[in-house]
Chains A and B, each alone.
Chain A
Amino acid sequence: MSEPLAPPRMRRPYQGRVLAGVAAGLSEHLQVSVSTVRVAFALLSLLGGLGVFLYAGLWITTPAGVPDPPRPPGLEAASRQNRRSTAEASALGRPQPGLLVALALIGIGMVMLVDRLVDTPGGAVWPLAVVTVGAGIVWRQAESREASRAAIIARVVAGVALVALGLVLFLAGRGELSELLDALVAVLVILAGAAIVAGPWLVRLVRDLQLERAERVRSQERADMAAHLHDSVLQTLAVIQRQADDPEAVARMARSQERDLRRWLYDEPDPAPNQVRAALAAVAADVEDAFGTPVEVVVVGDAELTPGGTVEAVVAAVREAVTNAAKHSAANRIDVYAEIADATMDVFVRDRGVGFDLAAVGVDRMGVRGSIVERVERHGGTASVTSTPGTGTEVHLSARLDRP
């Protein structure tokens, strides 16, 4: 599978570029400072525009981007799903406006200088400059990786218009404008003929390309799936086989695996981590893993957790209540219901376990007072516990939200 080591090829990086990344790529390739390369291009441009042509030539022939070293499929999948931080920035390095203005001024200055110094036929320098700018816009657009359709069309039209304007100026300067029209008609006829001949073939080419791209996405998704299954499910199955004589452990692992797969298959790819919904799901997962008791969480509405805030205190109290239920109730399931309205938050933690006599046992003995009641009351909320021996316990936490 591994490819033979290829000689290093010059690339035009997306990061650190000013125009098309030619200077940046060349500097990396030749191991010299990028400023040196840029100054060299500028100086060469004075030699009848040699630098500009050189730049354009390298622009055309050098591929953009940074070559990706091959990575294991698991890492590849994780990167594609945005589960890993990637060093490579996805956006085209956006040059600052100041830089572009400076570049434009330098360009104009250089054109004027050349115009002064070199004896060009029929004032060809200015039209040439306009053509260069127009072509630059189109070329740069061709490798832009993210832009709206409208922006693409606008840039291409602007670029082509500039090129056309430059050509017209050039011909007008030489008094050959009338001949241009004839030439234009001839060119259009030839283009139309070519389109008729090559059209179907081009259409098929484009369609094949799209199909191939879609197929590649699908196969990447399949690879993601395989990597995930290998990662989690196979691991769990292996452990389950080893601990087959411990039904409790097997049930716990199956439950944990089920939760994981369910989340992976059906959940929003990126749940906001500092919301009540996600926080309570994490509480449930932790308690399930620690005690093996399934915890069902139902949340209506949502709110943000602010450090030290009321919501965070309530969630912490819920964790205590659920842990208590898992430890002491012997229930086979714990239900958590949270309802968040505009200004209030109510959470109920219920188990159908052994329950206890509140009067006889005393709330303190269950560790309820400090960890649950006081925690919530400190934030102006209330906590109440109802329990009946034999039928179970319910903890009700209620608080006003301190959100604007």
Chain B
Amino acid sequence: MSMPGAEAATAPVRASVVVVDDHAVFRSGVKAELAGAVDVIGEAADVASAVEVIQRRPPDVVLLDVHLPGGGGVEVLRQVHSAQPEVKFLALSVSDAAEDVVGVIRAGARGYVTKTVTGAELVEAITRVASGDAVFSPRLAGFVLDAFAGDPGAMPTSGDPDLDRLSPREREVLRLIARGYTYREVARELVLSVKTIETHVSNVLRKLQLSNRNELTRWAAARRLV
């Protein structure tokens, strides 16, 4: 999985991280990879313990497995996200299924990577999420383009019609990300600053989380979402 956000990354402070995954082998592997780059201050293997660990000592970023005993990663987001919006979530999964990806994003995660990312890519994704930006993999960009495909249609269902469509610029940015471009490469291609690209991606993330767009709902339902 490529990390378009990957080249950013001069972190002023080391991010504190909680690793939530029910596979102990994976947790220890991630901890080893992250050692030296971020501070892993806690770990958990299921929803209940994850909520407890996060509430006891809120980290900058939670690495959240999508499939988790006790209701899945979405359940952790549900219990923690609204009470502690300052804690950022980066979702991790072995599955690329649309319902997993869009499900956790809509529940509040600020990014999504598959478990096959390299250690360096993961560190940079964490840094990016910690600084408030969104992390879109090519696959997530593809999902979003798919979900927001075509004309928004005659029936926008949100109060704010801007939520229901992507701007041409946002579409352009997502297309480049889907083609495997990093944020920096996207910026160079469109002759924009990296900061502007980050803003566009964050806006797309917001739309993905808030839109009730007719097509989005139908698209998600077709993939057994919602």
Contacts and interface: CB of A to CB of B under 8 A. Distances in A.
Interface of A: 258, 262, 265-267, 296, 298-301, 333, 335, 337, 339, 341, 348, 350, 352, 394
Closest 9 CB pairs of A and B: A335-B180, A298-B142, A337-B179, A348-B179, A266-B95, A337-B178, A300-B145, A266-B97, A350-B180
A300 B147 CA distance: 9
Contact of B142 (A299, A341, A394): A299
Contacts of B150: 341
A267 B223 CA distance: 11
Contacts of A262: 94-96
A11 to B, nearest CB: 39
Given A262-B94, A266-B95, A267-B97, 10 more contacts: A258-B116, A298-B141, A299-B142, A300-B145, A333-B180, A335-B2, A335-B180, A337-B175, A352-B180, A394-B179
Nearest to A334: B180
A337 B142 contact: yes
B66 to A, nearest CB: 11
A296 B121 CA distance: 16
Chain B interface mostly: loop
Nearest to B146: A300
Contacts of A267: 97
Contacts, number: 50
A348 B142 CA distance: 13
Given A300-B145, A300-B146, A335 B116 contact: no
Interface of B: 1-2, 94-97, 116, 138-139, 141-142, 145-146, 149-150, 175, 178-181
Contacts of B141: 298
Nearest to A391: B185
A84 to B, nearest CB: 26
B120 to A, nearest CB: 12
Nearest to A298: B142
A296 B179 contact: no
Nearest to A335: B180
Given A337-B179, A350-B179, A266 B149 contact: no
Nearest to A299: B142
A352 B210 CA distance: 35
B215 to A, nearest CB: 13
A299 B96 CA distance: 13
A298 B95 CA distance: 14
Contacts of B138: 296, 298, 335, 337
Contacts of B146: 300-301
